[in-house]
Structure 1
């Protein structure tokens, strides 16, 4: 009897210790889409950055980015930037929430932290990193210069995933009194998840 219970516990333990590795495959190089079903003054990434000096291209299944992008969001350098990231799954004609979300209450102190996921994917590739290290998304006119940056990154999870997913990124600026600024940035990145192990 105890052997059977021990076997069941081992099976449960190993089923939760195994992870699956996935890579998102973007639909095309035009990766930033306006968020659907938003109310009020909610705008896409082109309200956060001037992207006229940037280049996005597909290289196989990867999206490669390079160029200069300048912050143009009408906020103040003293504003607190909150970042809300959600992953949604398309199922039976609707976008449904998943278990995966991140809420960063105060993004600016963490923007250049090399232990953060966004740093390894994107920020760490900035050519002028030392020049802009003290500038956050709340500093209009800051020019970020990026060399070739592969925006496609792998991630691990305990769940088996398949199908179409979207990453929704929402940025809200709050003034010193904690009142949100009227312009909110929201963008969606859509693609399939492909299991690689």
Structure 2
């Protein structure tokens, strides 16, 4: 019995190693030093990132190594502290003059529960650098007027993907939706980050 369990553990470790070795690491090189742009072809009532966050006390600097951000960001999304926040993320590829969907799509039904989860793709490029982490972990994006205090850092968007990507231009689309007892609020947020994926060589 013990020998059988040992073999099962060996197989699980082997499968995990194979999966890790098959993943390809990419860095997303951003086009714009301001990082975010409004979503295209959205209804007028859909807000962009400036309906979510006030960056007036932030500084963004771009050089050959990427974008460096510093300062404080204020939450201005007008929702309630008890709301559930959903995040949908999609990656689109620019092909022959139009944005085409890819198979890279993620849905987080309760984003605030995962905001400081170290396994999430945004942790190293966002929440890891929040100084007042205990306060923001509690408030998330749900408390209008809350201030996020950032250390000065370089924004590095690193992704591990299980298949190779085409060369070319991409955009990552973020859509935040608030729910009051599962009733969707109308002030939805949508914004994009545009750039290119570059394979990281081992």
Q: What value does the CA root-mean-square deviation take over the aligned residues?
A: 1.8
TM-score, with normalisation over the residues of structure 1? 0.86
Find the aligned partners of 1:79 and 1:180 in 2 and give their Cα distance: 10
Q: Deviations over 1:88-139 (max 9, x none)?
A: 0000111011111110011111112222221222101111113332111111
In the alignment, is residue 27 of structure 1 matched against residue 31 of structure 2?
yes
Is the Cα–Cα contact under 8 Å of residues 88 and 107 in structure 2 kept in the other structure?
A: yes
Is the Cα–Cα contact under 8 Å of residues 25 and 61 in structure 1 kept in the other structure?
A: no
Is the Cα–Cα contact under 8 Å of residues 122 and 149 in structure 1 kept in the other structure?
A: no
The equivalent of 2:94 in structure 1 is 90
* Contiguous gaps of at least 5 residues in structure 1: 1-13
| Structure-2 change in CA distance of 1:170 and 1:160 (3 Å) | closer
| Structure-2 change in CA distance of 1:19 and 1:107 (3 Å) | closer
Aligned length: 182
The equivalent of 2:108 in structure 1 is 104
The equivalent of 2:3 in structure 1 is none
TM-score, with normalisation over the residues of structure 2? 0.84
* Contiguous gaps of at least 5 residues in structure 2: 1-17
In the alignment, is residue 165 of structure 1 matched against residue 138 of structure 2?
no
Q: Which runs of 4+ in 1 moved over 4 A?
A: none
